[in-house]
Each structure stands twice: as structure tokens, then as C-alpha cells.
Amino acid sequence: MTIADKLSRLRAINLRTLFDDVLKENEDYICNLNKDQMYEEGIMNVRTKQKQQYAESTKISKRKAPFNKTDFITLRWFGNFYESLRLIIFKDYFIIQSPDKVWGSYLETQTRFTSALGLTKESKSELRNLAKDELIKKIRSGL
């Protein structure tokens, strides 16, 4: 293959499509970044890294839950909400969203949780590194 052939193939690559493919292939990884932010770090606002505390009455109720961590709010009691997280890809951005009825009817309507879904700067940096490596692999395999 000549250099001209390689350049022609390189010009034909649609980076947006490749990037969307990388996002789709790594949906679980991306959602896990968000889950870890909430459960391990208690981040309920990705912009401010804000932690919030459960009320004492909630801590008592949460003792019976499978995920009974009460150091800070985690939004994880039984795991259904966490397992429902999905990546939705738009033309120029993506969001992490949940079709879980608890999110849509209760949590999302509370301003203290509206920024819980998404990635912090640190998580975005992790994702950028992963995406860069994956894009390079895809580009090289297409040449």
C-alpha cells in the first residue's frame, strides 16, 4: 500500500462515527465511572463534588437495604437505579440517564440530585484517555 493510499484511507475516516462507536463499546465503563462517583465518593453534584448526608431516620431504614452504606447519600439502596443507568449519545455530546421510575418521579425532580448523573473532571479525564487509545487502535486497524 502506498502512502497516497494510506492518506486517502485516512481522509475517509469519519472520526465522529468512530468516537460514537468507542462510546457505545464502553457504555458500561462510562456508567461505572458515574456509579463510583456516587457510591464511593458520594458525589451528588458533578460540578461541585458536593456530598450530602442522609437524615437519621433514613440511616435507620437503610440498614435493611442490600447497599446499606450511610456515610453519605449514595442513591443506592437495592441497586435497581444504578443498574438502569444508560448512555444516550447525541450529535455533539452524551448524557447518562436512567429510565428507572424512582429517578424520573422522585430523584430527578429534587434539585439536590439533578447533577448527580454525569462525569466529574477526573472521570472525564479517565474517559478521554481511554477514548484516545481506542480511537488510535480503530484508526490504525482501518489503514
Q: Are 7 and 78 in contact (CB under 8 A)?
A: no
Q: How far is CA 98 from CA 12, 71, 136, 142, in A?
A: 36, 24, 31, 34
H/E stretch holding 95 reads strand 94-97
Give 89's strand partners: 94
CB burial class (10 A; 0-12, 13-18, 19+) of residue 85? buried
User: What CA–CA distance (Å, rounded) separates 115 from 82?
Assistant: 15
Number of helices followed by number of strands (H, E) in the chain: 7, 2
Helical ranges in 42-120 per DSSP H: 56-62, 80-83, 101-102
Is the entire prediction scored with pTM above 0.85? yes
Print pLDDT tens along the chain (143 aa). Answer: 788 887 788 788 888 999 999 999 999 999 999 999 999 999 999 999 889 999 999 999 999 999 999 999 999 999 999 999 999 999 999 999 999 998 988 888 888 898 999 999 999 999 999 999 999 998 888 75
pLDDT for the residue 98: 96
